[in-house]
Structure 1
């Protein structure tokens, strides 16, 4: 428990900052948790339950000092997209499916942590996450229009909903829209005159107070209704377990999205405050936090960037902030839920829209167009996939597209022909003419690890560039450092073919770099090297220098003797370098 170890070294002068940060975090988390509960399709109290135990668990098991876990827009949107069709309108079944999916998400995280798959934080690339968050934010905003304008969507998908906008606007419920506008006014007034205060909580409280004082329910203004407070009671699922099979892969997707989103937040604040976090331990902490949420009747959680930012801005030093904030939310969930039933749904819709607007950053996606076009197309594809075919299919498509993009980079990488500049430094031969090819020598670099699925491409590119750029060279030197990273029998067979091909043309083939590793692989595969086979050298400079000696000796008719001398020199130089 890294968090517990950190708390054991707690310094008393941190307490004031941690208490102030905890009060601010709780003030922000309360309205957001209630709003995200509605987004997920469960009772408001469930949103509060989803904060308490997960925050306590992460405080003990997490490696970040500032991160606050809790309900998140992306995770709630994913859960709602998966569970709503399976529940078919049954509220209890919906709630139980949400908890079941949350448990599965937690177990996927624990499995990933057990096999040290924290590197998966880099699997969902930043462009994919950018497209995902923008798509989820737009989907949430459109979905909340029904609460703000007082109508119900009949369509399931975004495009159909947008197509019916004129019809829906004609069904606008005036009192509901006025309540939404009042919430917006209070929110921005608080932002303007009291920016340090929790604007969302005051906006929602103002709406609830008006409903209670003036009995606005008589005007058909919808509220969140009765909130069953008290301690959560454990319940086992009563639905057909066959339905659980439908949740396995979506739970895996949810675990990936939650973890990557959490790691981006945790890493950014860790870097700002000058410490490191452990990705594998973070995976485990997220897993136990989700299991704790499900056991307390809550839904899936992730790293909450807005609440983490509030924590950091108020000077929070340790995870004691999470513990204090969780206790405050627990008191509200157990003893103070009665006033929550007066909160207007329109006010919650406004809070969700405002929170989602902060997730939208289309400008960042557009900037990728100039800096990295493949990343731009990947982000754009993810965005449109989430909007047009849904969150889960969109994530799956984006991950597959990112994987294919990676495979394309590995299978068809860049390559260079190398030469020497005026100072004798090896560099790429290109249009700036700072380096020139060495007469009679062709030096080739392939910028990707060689394996069975790109060995043929390597061979083709080497021959193409050799014929095009240095056909009269009688020596080919291959830089083995970037491409020969592991033993692959297909690659070794390809090397043997090249050696035979070039020997027929009287061309000497030299591998430069990773000498001991290469000799070991040649011995394992019974391939001939050295005199009469492929020559292996310690590095590019030595390969060039000893090749010059070999050519000079060849002109004198004593090449075999010089080859032996070259090998001896290489051994001595390698030993001295080591």
Structure 2
């Protein structure tokens, strides 16, 4: 399907409604159907996320009411669904539980405060155009983080599947607790859990377009109401408040400000990385423009809406976005349709929800956790990039064996380490001409001349403080071991886009060192690379920084072939 070019309409000039305009009449019925599908699949899912986040079940419905509308009006993506998400729900549960009890008014208030703080952080990110920060949580670290979250979430529901209260600290303690109490299993609850899992998995495998989760939920509610499950020892979620959420600004909670800020920062990082990556993937699929900073505005609005309606952080959800896309949705009209259906549920259908067995939500959450465990991604990493596989594995292990907050810290830290390692690692070559006059690149070694007495050394990475010393060391070894002696060293910096202060001073020092040895130095740099920076350092150093700068390697070699190097300079006293 060829998307309508937003340039064709004045709506493209608006800083909002990008996900809704231009309106496509032919697409409208498909978007409505996709919205109904998202409601059918998403309502049970977001109620399941409340078990992860530790908030009342109705707060899950609130995440797909005003937050969906806010993102539809303010965001830039036509596809991204901003709603409750397992990763951010797990961060809340793993951090805020240390200062308030699950489900308590204080705890729920803290989750709303975190949502408001995240909204403020996203606003600041938009003001300073920090959308690029999403690129600094590497895909491999994100795979490991979500895999760890999935394991933690799935393990946390094992007790609920067999009708036991959750006990034990962390996944290992929870598994041990379940094993020790197997004799106390409530078999009616276990049978119900297995039936729900069978229905959901069966429909996913055999008829994926049919909402198996919704069928399981409706069936379980009907059975619970008809057979009074509570009399048989099967727990139900109980009263679900009806009507619209009340609007209020959450309290600041100064006593827990450190915990709120740390939790918000963790959620902020995950939201940036996951939401921007998801929006970009679907924009590329349909040849649409990506505006990460506008999506940040939409996410800020969605989280502010979540905060004032008493619910928790929302995130760009890859699973819900795929639900809408698979159902034919191509604009935020689908998400507004979902919000309208949720409104009807809150007004008229909350009483039936009170009969929902708790084991149904445990089963739904268990499957959510299992799906987050990205075995395919881990296998691909192991096969294609083993070093990044271990980065993902370490991140997952920290999430499982420590906690989610430290897992996201480790994910970000390892992403930066991985980036620095790739930048630090030298990618260098020496160039020579073959018989046909074409340039050939060789691993760095002496006795490789581009012309008599001329060595061309190519550096294929930005030069900065961490690799500047290695650069200088390799160049000096190259000229020291050359026989016959080198007259000119040509540094091919055409692949370099940045030189920091440390590297600039190192180049001046290298020029002085080579000059003392009677070796001239020249550079190859292009106008959109680092030519201006090299010129600036050369002028700053004056005579000590004299160095020829050429546009191409050919120009440098041709000009220097018969040129005498500068006379050796005496060492400074």
Same fold, TM-score > 0.5, yes or no: yes
> Mapping of 1:321-332 within 5 angstroms?
321-332=334-345
- 2:113–2:251 CA contact under 8 A, matched in 1: no
Question: Which one of the candidate residues 228, 236, 242 is aligned to 1:215?
Answer: 228
**Separation in structure 1 between the aligned mates of residue 209 and residue 102 of structure 2, nearest angstrom:** 41
Structure 1 residue aligned with 2:169: 156
> Quick check: 1:522–1:529 contact (8 Å CA) kept in 2?
no
| Aligned residue in 2 for 1:9 | 22
* Structure 1: 5+ residue stretches without partners: 561-578
- Separation in structure 1 between the aligned mates of residue 103 and residue 323 of structure 2, nearest angstrom: 37
Secondary structure of residue in 1 paired with 2:99: helix
8 Å Cα contact 1:44/1:227 also seen in 2: yes
The reply to whether residue 45 of structure 1 matches residue 71 of structure 2 is: no
Report the 3-state secondary structure (helix = DSSP H, G, I; strand = E; otherwise coil) of the residue aligned with 1:154. coil
State the match for 1:337 in structure 2.
350
> Is this contact kept in 1: 2:18–2:77, CA < 8 A?
no
Decide whether aligned partners of structure 1 residues 469 and 58 sit closer, same or farther in structure 2, where only a CA change above 3 A counts: farther
CA deviation profile, 1:387-429 (whole Å, cap 9, x unmatched): 1111110110121122122223323432222222333232311
> Which structure's CA Rg is the greater one?
1
Identify the residue that residue 572 of structure 1 maps to in structure 2: none
Q: 2:333 aligns with which of 309, 320, 327?
A: 320
Q: Tell me the residue number matched to 1:386.
A: 399
Over the aligned positions, Cα root-mean-square deviation in angstroms equals: 2.5
1:492 counterpart = 2:507: no
Given that 1:3 and 1:319 are in contact with CA atoms closer than 8 Å, whether structure 2 keeps it comes out as no
Distance 1:107 1:321 in 2: 27
In structure 1, the residue matched to 2:116 is: 103
Paired with 2:377 and 2:79, the residues of 1 have a C-alpha distance of 25
- Mapped contact 1:413–1:448 kept (Cα < 8 A): yes
Once the two structures are overlaid, the 10-residue window that deviates more, 41-50 or 453-462, is 453-462
My pick for the range that moved more, 468-477 or 17-26, is 468-477
| Structure 1 counterpart of 2:5 | none
Is the partner of 2:563 in helix, strand or coil?
helix
Please list, as runs of the form range in 1=range in 2, the aligned pairs for 1:165-564 lying within 5 A after superposition. Answer: 165-191=178-204, 194-235=207-248, 237=250, 240-430=253-443, 437-468=450-481, 472-483=485-496, 485-486=498-499, 488=501, 490-514=502-526, 517-518=532-533, 520-522=535-537, 524-528=539-543, 533-550=546-563
Tell me how far 1:45 sits from its aligned partner. 1.0
Give the secondary-structure state (helix, strand or coil) at the position aligned to 1:4.
coil
1:145 alignment counterpart:
158
Contact 1:49 1:330 in 2 (8 A): no
What do residues 477-514 of structure 1 show as CA deviations (whole Å, max 9, x unaligned)? 111223462452x3333223222322232212112224
Compute the displacement of 1:467 (Å). 3.2
Query: Cα offset for 1:549?
Result: 2.8
- What is the SS of the residue equivalent to 2:437? coil
* Kept after mapping to 1: 8 A contact 2:152/2:369: no
Displacement of 1:165: 4.1
| 1:92-140, Cα deviation, whole Å (9 max, x unpaired) | 1111011011111111111111100110121111001100111111111
Match of 1:126 among 114, 134, 139: 139
CA distance in 2 between partners of 1:221 and 1:476 (Å):
81
Q: Which moved more, 1:414-423 or 1:514-523?
A: 514-523
Aligned to 1:78: 91
**Distance verdict in 2 for CA 1:470–1:255, change over 3 Å:** farther
Matched residue SS, 2:543: coil
Assess if the C-alpha contact under 8 Å between 1:121 and 1:259 holds in 2. Answer: yes
TM superposition shift of 1:235: 4.5
Sort the Cα spacing of 1:244 and 1:499 in 2 relative to 1 into closer, same or farther, 3 A.
closer
1:343-381 residue CA offsets vs partner (Å, 9 max, x unmatched) = 111111111122222222223213222322321221111
Segments of 5+ residues of structure 2 without an aligned counterpart are: 1-13, 568-573
Shift of 1:529: 7.0
Deviation at 1:431, TM superposition (A): 10
SS class of match (2:372): coil
CA–CA distance in structure 1, aligned partners of residues 278 and 499 of structure 2: 35
Q: Deviations over 1:314-344 (max 9, x none)?
A: 2213211111110111111232101111111
Does the 8 Å contact 1:124/1:399 carry over to 2?
A: yes
Q: Which residue of 2 aligns with 1:63?
A: 76
Residues 482 and 203 from structure 1, CA distance in 2 versus in 1: closer, same or farther, beyond 3 angstroms?
same
Q: 1:569 maps to what in 2?
A: none
SS in 1 for 2:440: strand
Query: C-alpha separation between the residues in 1 aligned to 2:171 and 2:370?
Result: 17
Deviations 1:166-199 (A, max 9, x none): 2032332111101101212332444466432211
Moved more, 106-115 or 179-188: 179-188
**TM-score, L = length of structure 2:** 0.90
| Residues 527 and 407 of structure 1, relative CA distance in 2, 3 Å threshold | farther
CA contact (8 A) 1:51 1:326 kept: yes
Q: How many residues align?
A: 550
Structure 1, 52-61 or 491-500: larger mean CA deviation = 491-500
Looking at structure 2, the residues matched to 53 and 350 of structure 1 have their Cα atoms a distance apart, in angstroms, of 27
Contact kept in structure 2, 1:445 and 1:479, CA below 8 Å: yes
Contact preservation (8 Å) 1:382, 1:394: yes
Q: Is the CA contact (8 Å cut-off) linking 1:131 and 1:380 kept in structure 2? A: yes
